[in-house]
Amino acid sequence: MVKQKIWCVLMALALLVNIAAWGSRSFSDFYVQHIFPVIGSAFSHVTAVFPFSVGEWMLVAAALFGLAFLAAGGLRLFVRKPWCRKLFAAFYWTFAWLFVIFFWIMTCDCFIQYHTTPFEELYLHPGQEGYTKTELAALRDYVVENVNALAAQMPRDAQGYVVYEGDLHRTSIRAVQALGASYSLLEGYYPKPKEMAFSGLISQTNMMGYYFPFSMEANYNSHMYAVNKPATICHELSHLKGFLQEDEANLIGYLACVGSEDPFFQYSGYMSVLNYVEREFLDSIGRDATEYGKHPAISELVYADDIFLTEEAWKKVEDNSIIRTETATKVSRAATTATLKLNGVSEGMQSYEGVVKLLLDYYDGTLF
């Protein structure tokens, strides 16, 4: 049949594009620099019309369709009627066409981007492969000194939690757009970031944000502590410009925030990398208490703000949960790890920690 041949041709072409992306960095770079900005901007302008996360509800619709498809298959097996066969055939071909559309969108908005020239090679031009313990300590102390100073400036409520009354979305967009002056691929249009309707479930997976390639939206967890939001939103916005590697998005989120004139954003930026840098530093000194004591201590305010959700928010999430948090976390980590490795990121979830090396590259020549 004609539709079967068309489907096979479309799938074959999508596979060839993926093979080209894996095999040629030049192909991927050309696509991200010249084609993806047009496609991405078009997608984003359309989905930006809606006040809710289109991608999130597309996932809900996909789940419901999957259940209907299984039900149709069950009817076909147990009810020997012509209309059952026709119903299943209709679901089957609908699923087949949706799959090929989904595969093409994921290829164009996600898969190719994993194989481009790394951010550090494009813009940072690192001068060395490794860094000394002294250089890592300089980075760590710089982050700690800044985060400590900013923590003392933050407005807080009666419970001591940081509060923010500015325009979170507009400031986030401006912060990332400002980086476009130094990093050309970050120039251009950004849609308004969107809160996730299922933030409770997302909290159970320990996720702060999500980029939906099939709707070109930057989504974030509305339940998480306020300090996490600016860096998370800027991180997710960077994905819209083709920076899919998580360590690169972490760096861009950091640079956008610390480069902002808003102290709250600056605080979020330093907080977003603090734990990554601290862990690397502790490992470098063998967790020696005497050596650690020679460096600036992290303030109590910073420790208090170093949380994912507040206690009150966690209680609300747990009270309204339909599955166990441990289960949701395991499933989410497994899915994320599988996705990253499928796209050639062998480090899996550990790829987020690569931001420390990128920070060392960025500050090479200024901090040390």
- Structural domain boundaries of the chain? 2-115, 127-363
Q: Token digits for 259?
A: 């480069």
Q: How far apart are CA 139 and CA 253, in angstroms?
A: 17
Which pLDDT score is estimated for 352?
57
Q: How far apart are CA 168 and CA 176, in angstroms?
A: 12
Please count the other Cβ atoms lying within 10 Å of the Cβ belonging to residue 244.
Answer: 23
What's the pTM? Answer: 0.89
Whether residue 345 contacts residue 114, with contact meaning beta carbons closer than 8 Å, is answered with: yes
* Among candidate residues 109, 143, 151, the one with its CA nearest the CA of residue 363: 143
Q: Which amino acid is at 130?
A: G
Report the interhelical angle of 168-179 vs 229-239 (nearest 10°): 50
Which pLDDT score is estimated for 331?
54
Residue 240 DSSP code: T
CA torsion sign, 308 to 313 to 317 to 318? positive
Q: Token digits for 325?
A: 């948090």
Which pLDDT score is estimated for 209?
95
Q: How far apart are CA 314 and CA 302, in angstroms?
A: 20
Pairing of strands 217-220, 209-212: antiparallel
Residues in the chain, how many? 368
Q: Which residues, 6 or more positions from 137, have their beta carbon under 8 angstroms from its beta carbon?
A: 281, 284, 285, 295
Low-confidence residues of the chain: pLDDT under 50: 348-351
Burial class (CB within 10 angstroms; exposed 0-12, middle 13-18, buried 19+) of 252: buried
Residue 125 DSSP code: -
Which pLDDT score is estimated for 349?
45
Residue 34 DSSP code: I
Give me the half-sphere count of Cα atoms (radius 13 Å) on the Cβ side of residue 174.
9
* Among candidate residues 29, 186, 4, the one with its CA nearest the CA of residue 100: 4
Q: Token digits for 272?
A: 């977003």
Whether residue 117 contacts residue 29, with contact meaning beta carbons closer than 8 Å, is answered with: yes
Q: Which residues, 6 or more positions from 282, have their beta carbon under 8 angstroms from its beta carbon?
A: 292
Which pLDDT score is estimated for 69?
76
DSSP 8-32: HHHHHHHHHHHHHHHH-HHHHHHII
Q: Token digits for 42?
A: 């078009």
